[in-house]
């Protein structure tokens, strides 16, 4: 990787994701955490809250506003005037956290003029880090805990996508959001790729799999919010992949009045 980073904010985002991930693991490993229901009936754990507090405190130092799933909802009238903001999911995959599948992530993205320009995703259980800046490249680090400094960690990162192993065409989809439209889409792919392989994973890790070349496509025909996808979107773009609306085509936009995403496809 280049020794000169195009944006100093990347180091801050990487450090923040790693610290938040370690806080999440400290809760996960004990198995002792509280669970409550949010207004949309989705679960919220004490680990979500802890990660949000860590991320909000560290990113506040950048002077860039933070829009977090677990934080204060910035009114659209205020957000609309922002050219740059962080969009964060402190713990993406809370259901996976609760079920102890390990498929949960920390998502941090920097949005500029409605587009993702920087993304960091950390997978605490695997100790894997993905990060990228659009136009500069995307990278992966395995075993982040072995490095003594963020600079050393980032200097030894592997550029994405990785070389394909020549395996079958791989479709990655959600463990918990399979539906009829997704099934029909996969069936249509099977006409071109009779021996395709379906891989089920949780959280934004699915986008990382496409960015890294471990999967060929990720179709999402179910609801997601901007904080679910922003970091992965940036990493996918930085890796030379595409993430487009499933129905109308065109790129996903961020910092919208309605933070709900359209259906999309990553490939």
Q: Report pLDDT digits (tens) over 202-234.
A: 999 999 999 999 999 999 999 999 999 999 999
Q: Which residues are annotated as a binding site for substrate?
A: 69, 91-94, 228
Supply the range of the domain harboring residue 228: 170-266
Are residues 138 and 187 located together in one domain of the fold? Answer: no
Whole-angstrom distance, CA of residue 203 vs CA of residue 185: 20
Give whole-number Cα distances, 178 to 164, 218, 244, in Å.
Answer: 26, 12, 19
Q: From the CB of residue 37, how many other CB atoms can be counted at a distance below 10 Å?
A: 9
Are residues 43 and 150 located together in one domain of the fold? Answer: yes
The neighbouring-strand residues paired with 244 are: 251, 265
Are residues 114 and 225 located together in one domain of the fold? Answer: no
Q: Which residues are annotated as a binding site for Mg(2+)?
A: 69, 89, 91-92, 228
Structure tokens at 24: 């999440």
Are residues 120 and 42 located together in one domain of the fold? Answer: yes
User: Is residue 165 included in any domain, yes or no?
Assistant: no
User: Is residue 1 included in any domain, yes or no?
Assistant: no
- Residue 153 near residue 144 (C-beta atoms within 8 A): yes
The pLDDT of residue 40 is: 75
Q: Tokens 């949309």 belong to which residue?
A: 40
Are residues 61 and 125 located together in one domain of the fold? Answer: yes
Are residues 32 and 146 located together in one domain of the fold? Answer: yes
Q: Report pLDDT digits (tens) over 242-258.
A: 999 998 779 999 999 99
Q: Report pLDDT digits (tens) over 179-203.
A: 899 999 999 999 999 999 999 999 9
Instruction: Give the count of domains, the chain.
Output: 2
C-alpha angle with apex 235: 15 to 222, nearest 5 degrees?
Answer: 110
Q: From the CB of residue 165, how many other CB atoms can be counted at a distance below 10 Å?
A: 7
């Amino acid at each position: 990787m280049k020794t000169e980073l195009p944006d100093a904010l990347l180091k801050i985002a990487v450090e923040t994701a790693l610290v938040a991930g370690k806080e999440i693991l400290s809760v996960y490993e004990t198995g002792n955490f509280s669970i409550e229901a949010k207004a949309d009936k989705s679960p919220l754990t004490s680990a979500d809250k802890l990660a949000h507090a860590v991320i909000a405190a560290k990113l506040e130092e950048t002077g860039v506003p933070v829009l977090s799933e677990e934080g204060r909802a910035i009114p659209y009238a205020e957000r609309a005037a922002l050219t740059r903001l962080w969009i964060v999911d402190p713990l993406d995959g809370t259901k996976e956290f609760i079920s102890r599948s390990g498929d949960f992530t920390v998502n941090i993205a920097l949005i500029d003029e409605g587009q993702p320009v920087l993304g960091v995703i950390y997978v605490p259980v695997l100790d894997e880090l993905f990060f990228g800046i659009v136009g500069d490249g995307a990278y992966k680090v395995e075993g982040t805990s072995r490095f003594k400094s963020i600079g050393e960690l980032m200097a030894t990162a592997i550029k994405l996508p990785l070389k394909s192993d020549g395996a079958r065409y791989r479709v990655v989809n959600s463990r918990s959001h399979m539906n009829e439209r997704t099934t029909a889409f996969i069936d249509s792919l099977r006409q071109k790729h009779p021996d395709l392989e379906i891989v089920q994973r949780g959280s934004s890790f699915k986008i990382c799999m496409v960015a890294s070349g471990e999967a060929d496509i990720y179709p999402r025909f179910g609801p997601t919010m901007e904080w679910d996808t922003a970091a992965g979107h940036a990493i996918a773009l930085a890796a030379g992949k595409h993430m487009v609306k499933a129905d109308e085509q065109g790129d996903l936009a961020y910092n919208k009045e309605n933070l709900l995403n359209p259906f999309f496809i990553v490939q």
